Structure 1
Amino acid sequence: MRADSPPESVFALDLSGLQAADVTVWSAWRGRDIAAVGALRRLPDRSGEVKSMRTHPDWLRRGAAAAILEIIIAAARRQGLHRLSLETGSGPAFEPALALYRKRGFANGPAFGTYRASAFNQFLHLDVRAEPRF
């Protein structure tokens, strides 16, 4: 991600960010190998943000990230959140992740939280109160 993003457009959480009280992290494993990780940050307006979605290269396009995303969406519903949002970049390196989010019903929309729109980043949102579309 860092290699494909301008430095001022990298908003990844470091370890201390992932340990914050408003963040929950999940991981998918295959035996002793980690396949994917993802996190949910609860925001003050009763919405949530998908953070730190990563898939190990050996597990790309094998369903690990989709499983983590489903867990995050289900957790947001259980917590009574009304919307999930995420910030990501633009360009070929981001297309597989964008396809995953769009397949699940996320749609482009405005910046949220403290993010500012730029030529590089984009924002996607999902109404988690709605029934699943697939």
Structure 2
Amino acid sequence: MDIRIDDLSGADTRALIAHHHAQMHAQTPAESVHALDIDALRDPGITVWSAWLDGRVAGVAALTQLDAERGELKSFRTADEYLGRGVARALLRRIIADARGRGLTSLWLETGSDDGFVPARALYASEGFVECGPFGGYIDDPLSTFMTRAL
């Protein structure tokens, strides 16, 4: 698997992010969707990685630095045809390594709380994330699960 920083200029990566954004809006009321679209992910404070298998984009994930010590995981998505092949775990581990390299001391995330997000929450928990309350600008929302991990 080739994991690299992505400038979001490629059609395949943009299509996967657009699919992710559309799926989040199809599953969740708009006020509870925190997925970032392409324009938001192009913010210079956000780093996006893409994972590639067999010359095809297999997944994407992003990290935004909240402050000097904390980072937030954003826009994790594995392409449907690559589910169960370790793509999300590989991306997560790459981001954790990068965050440590930046000197961050913790990572934070928001994900869905319904059954469709069980695999995501299980992945994060298996990599040391624990549930917590809202952080940053988030508010308590029954459709959100917040998690954090010390680095």
Same structural fold, with TM-score higher than 0.5 when normalized by the shorter chain:
yes
Instruction: Report how far residue 43 of structure 1 moved.
Output: 0.6
The separation in 2 between residues aligned to 1:17 and 1:79, in whole angstroms, is 22
Aligned-pair identity in percent equals 45
The separation in 2 between residues aligned to 1:126 and 1:78, in whole angstroms, is 15
**How big is each residue's C-alpha offset from its partner over 1:72-117, in whole Å with a ceiling of 9 and x where there is no partner?**
1001100011110000111111001111000001000011100001
The aligned runs of 1:1-134 (5 Å cut-off) are 1-128=24-151
**Structure with the bigger percentage of helix:** 2
What is the SS of the residue equivalent to 1:123?
Answer: strand
The separation in 2 between residues aligned to 1:14 and 1:120, in whole angstroms, is 19
Segments of 5+ residues of structure 1 without an aligned counterpart are 129-134
The separation in 2 between residues aligned to 1:2 and 1:68, in whole angstroms, is 23
Instruction: Report how far residue 45 of structure 1 moved.
Output: 4.8
The separation in 1 between residues aligned to 2:53 and 2:41, in whole angstroms, is 22
Q: CA RMSD in A?
A: 1.0
Segments of 5+ residues of structure 2 without an aligned counterpart are 1-23
